[in-house]
Amino acid sequence: MTQDATIRLVGFAGSLRQGSYNRKLLAAAQRLMPADAVLEILPIDVVPLYNGDDEASTGIPRPVAALKEAIAAADGLVIATPEYNGGIPGVAKNVIDWISRPPSDIPRVLYGKPVALMGASPGRLGTALSQAAWLPVLRHLRMRLWTGGGPLYVPSAAQVFDEDGQIVDAEIEERVRSFMASFVDSLRPR
């Protein structure tokens, strides 16, 4: 935990679309944080496609280095994941692929990092398949998946958010608030 007793989380939405339900969900989570915690939303539209040749010739791109430092310094990571074709969206996986480079830096940035998954989808299952697809990736990187609040799936997202990105369903809003409060509580020193 950071020295000023504020729990600092970072998060990203695994979509580049401006009107993304997962961007809206992450922004809602940011607004609904407990008073002693903050959630900084990280931009991923600045992350190039991973290419080992580019890494070998020019190193880690500056935007990726900034993301890595933000994640390393945070008390926890929140990933708002869409579900594309029953799995992880390519742009979200690309972020993790870059952040895990070079392999010697994985322990500093990712090992033991608490991570909470959430997701919104226009479908009826929310993002259950995508969240399940994240499990081997998180295990491989030795990240610590937080499951204490149960899964946060937001199905039928078109009916959950208004045009300004506000949650219009009180039950969903309370689930997001409770999910974030429980994640933050799990990070407090005991």
Q: What is the pLDDT of residues 77-116, one digit of tens each?
A: 999 999 999 999 999 999 999 999 999 999 999 999 999 9
- The Cα 154–Cα 164 span in angstroms is 17
Whether residue 1 is predicted with pLDDT greater than 50 in this model: the reply is: no
Q: Which residue has the tokens 């149960």?
A: 150
The pTM (predicted TM-score) of the whole model is 0.95
Q: Give the per-residue pLDDT at 149.
A: 87
Query: Which are the contacts of 156, defined by CB distance < 8 A and separation ≥ 6?
Result: 122, 123, 124
Output 136 or 124, whichever has higher pLDDT. 136
Looking at 59-142, list the stretches that DSSP marks H as alpha helix, in order from N- to C-terminal side: 62-73, 90-99, 106-109, 128-140
What mean pLDDT, rounded, does the chain reach? 95
Beta strand pairing call for 37-41 and 7-13: parallel
Q: What is the mean pLDDT of residues 142-148?
A: 97
Q: Which amino acid is at 18?
A: Q
Task: Place 4 in a pLDDT band, splitting at 50, 70 and 90.
Answer: low
**Cα–Cα nearest to 95, from 120, 143, 61:** 61
Whether residue 2 is predicted with pLDDT greater than 50 in this model: the reply is: no
The CATH homologous superfamily for domain 7-187 is Flavodoxin domain (3.40.50.360)
* 17-70 confidence digits (pLDDT tens): 999 999 999 999 999 999 999 999 999 999 999 999 999 999 999 999 999 999
Q: Give the per-residue pLDDT at 14.
A: 97
